[in-house]
Amino acid sequence: MNKSSLEDKINSQRDLLDGYLKKAKQAGIDQVEIFSSYGYSEDVTLEKSDLNNCTATEENMFGIRVIENGSQGFITTNHLPTLWDSILEARSLARSQTTPDVDMVLPEPRPLENRPSQYDASIDALGLTDLVRIAKQALDWKREKFPLVSIDSGEMSISKGFKLIMSSTGVYGAELGAGISASVMGMAINGDDIGSFDYDSASGNDLTTFSKRWSTAFQQFGDKCMGALGARTISSFKGKILLPPDAVYSFFLGSFIGSLNGTSIRKGKSKMQGKLGVKVADSKLTIWEDPTLDQFSGTTAFDREGQPTKKQSVLKDGILETYFYNTYEAKKAGLVASNGFATGGAQSQPGCGPRQLQIAPGTSAKDDFFRMDEKVLYINRISGTSDGPSGDFSGVIKGGFLIENGEKIPIKEAQVVGNVYDALHQIEAISKEGELLGESYFVPYMLLDGFSITGNANG
């Protein structure tokens, strides 16, 4: 499978799906949407610090929406020969609905920007042999640099594919994508001293970019695993926490971003309801969505509904500027059209959310956070619970450090509690440096103050 064959496949499917849309129109089915997602991948897996398996997979999924008189039916299939039957089944599902809504309609077509292709043709020269080489290299790195680290699992992949959307209203969009990626998970073991699990990954559109990112990611993985050895308990205290990029998003900002979902706003399940134009975070925090960036994995000209995407502000100097809408939620909110935030794929109806958030870097040097004299708790990740609507969270800190007088002390059995929406106002500093999470979201380090840390009283 290469770029040329994928382009031929898109053209062939476009003609085929256009025929089905015309047939649907003739049958009195006026609103039909077909989302096609095709993927081909070659994979090499690791298990227990050794090569495990080599596979190649191919799949083409179709998500079919039919809307009739304000009611929606949705079907997913991977069987192209019976696509027409799936359209009829989706119509039957729509007709069986008993709660029609005038705002439930397919969007009209809108012009899409021409964005650079995220398919680098050099990827076509790679295959399973290259993945095996990358996997063996990772095992060599482990033996040479991190002999105490056990790789529980890992995966190296080359993926290629496309997404295509067409509808009876005239919506059309198609994009190719390809990349190479790797991930690894494991922990360090030194006799009876067993560190906590950790994980890292990297991806790229070409081998050179990937190799550089993967080397860095594996080094970080090994360092984190080794740094978790010798963990000890600490006493409880209230003070500062330091969040690396992964934790900033998963533990801190994830719940806040979810609260901007148009559905949650409409249903009154979000604390951000009615907050547009209001200062909801520290003025040091600025976030925007940018799906236009070249060689980023979330770059796309259109969303799940074939509507145009663009760079747009979400949070400016702590002031909320945007909610995330698909077509239905936009209409329920009284807007003319969505703002390009429909999410999902062939296996789901359109949701609401971002795809490529960027968090503005701050003015502090990351390394300065690790040289502070006062007590700071570095939180690698949290194993616990969080409540989206209220923002309350609590959990056990995994792979964390106590930073005091420039010393990093690995810890265990410590817990942290707090509230996401309160934490938005507890930001003390943001780093100039950051990381690309999933090669898509840029996230810096953040230092926050005023958190309650519960440790072992005898630590």
CATH of the domain at 23: 3.30.2290.10
Whether the per-residue pLDDT at 326 is higher than 70: the answer is: yes
Domain that holds residue 358: 231-459
pLDDT band at 458 (very low <50, low <70, confident <90, very high): low
Answer yes or no: do 219 and 239 share one domain. Answer: no
Could you tell me the maximum CA-CA distance found in the chain, to the nearest angstrom? 77
Alpha-carbon span 241 to 48, nearest angstrom: 34
Provide the number of structural domains found in the chain: 2
* Sequence-distant (≥ 6) Cβ neighbours of residue 372 within 8 angstroms: 240, 403, 406
Q: Phi/psi of residue 439, each to 5°?
A: 50, 35
* Residue 343 tokens, joined: 């999410």
Answer yes or no: do 203 and 238 share one domain. Answer: no
pLDDT (0 to 100) of residue 429? 97
Q: Phi/psi of residue 130, each to 5°?
A: -70, -40
Alpha-carbon span 67 to 31, nearest angstrom: 5
Answer yes or no: do 218 and 240 share one domain. Answer: no
Whether the per-residue pLDDT at 395 is higher than 70: the answer is: yes
Of 297, 2, 59, 42, the C-alpha closest to 156 is: 42
Q: Which one has a higher pLDDT value, 157 or 250?
A: 157
Whether the per-residue pLDDT at 12 is higher than 90: the answer is: yes
How large a percentage of the chain has pLDDT more than 70? 99
Q: Are 327 and 350 in contact (CB under 8 A)?
A: yes
pLDDT (0 to 100) of residue 393? 85
Alpha-carbon span 229 to 166, nearest angstrom: 53
Whether the per-residue pLDDT at 200 is higher than 70: the answer is: yes
pLDDT (0 to 100) of residue 94? 98
pLDDT band at 457 (very low <50, low <70, confident <90, very high): low
Answer yes or no: do 87 and 211 share one domain. Answer: yes
- What is the three-class DSSP state of 46? strand
Answer yes or no: do 434 and 304 share one domain. Answer: yes
Of 181, 198, 219, the C-alpha closest to 439 is: 181
How large a percentage of the chain has pLDDT more than 90? 85
* Stated length of the chain: 459
Alpha-carbon span 305 to 328, nearest angstrom: 11
* Residue 446 tokens, joined: 């953040």
What's 253's DSSP letter?
I
Q: Looking at the DSSP assignment, which residues form a beta bridge with residue 336?
A: none
Answer yes or no: do 237 and 376 share one domain. Answer: yes
End-to-end Cα spacing for the chain: 58
Q: What is the mean pLDDT of residues 398-427?
A: 90
pLDDT tens string 31-88? 999 999 999 999 999 999 999 999 999 999 999 999 999 999 999 999 999 999 999 9
pLDDT tens string 210-265? 999 999 999 999 999 999 999 999 999 999 999 999 999 887 788 899 999 999 99
pLDDT (0 to 100) of residue 3? 96
Query: Last residue of some domain: 178, 194, 225?
Result: 225
pLDDT (0 to 100) of residue 381? 84
Answer yes or no: do 75 and 147 share one domain. Answer: yes
Of 214, 230, 239, 34, the C-alpha closest to 148 is: 230
Of 199, 249, 252, the C-alpha closest to 228 is: 199
Q: Across the chain, what does the average pLDDT equal? A: 94
Answer yes or no: do 258 and 221 share one domain. Answer: no
Answer yes or no: do 177 and 91 share one domain. Answer: yes
Q: What is the mean pLDDT of residues 19-23?
A: 98
Whether the per-residue pLDDT at 26 is higher than 70: the answer is: yes
What b/e readout covers 144-180, taking b as 16+ CB neighbours within 10 angstroms? eebebbbbeebbbbbbbbbbbbbbbbebebbbbbbbb
Query: Last residue of some domain: 225, 248, 278?
Result: 225
Answer yes or no: do 166 and 255 share one domain. Answer: no
Q: What is the mean pLDDT of residues 280-288?
A: 97
Answer yes or no: do 291 and 161 share one domain. Answer: no
* Residue 178 tokens, joined: 């390809």
Whether the per-residue pLDDT at 29 is higher than 70: the answer is: yes
pLDDT tens string 345-357? 999 999 999 999 9
Query: Last residue of some domain: 225, 248, 277?
Result: 225
| Burial of 273 from C-beta contacts in 10 A (0-12 / 13-18 / 19+) | middle
**Amino acid code (one letter) for 295:** Q
Alpha-carbon span 164 to 130, nearest angstrom: 29
pLDDT band at 411 (very low <50, low <70, confident <90, very high): very high
Whether the per-residue pLDDT at 459 is higher than 50: the answer is: no
Q: What is the mean pLDDT of residues 278-294?
A: 96
Of 265, 277, 253, 228, the C-alpha closest to 393 is: 253
Chain position carrying tokens 């236009």: 292
Answer yes or no: do 235 and 193 share one domain. Answer: no
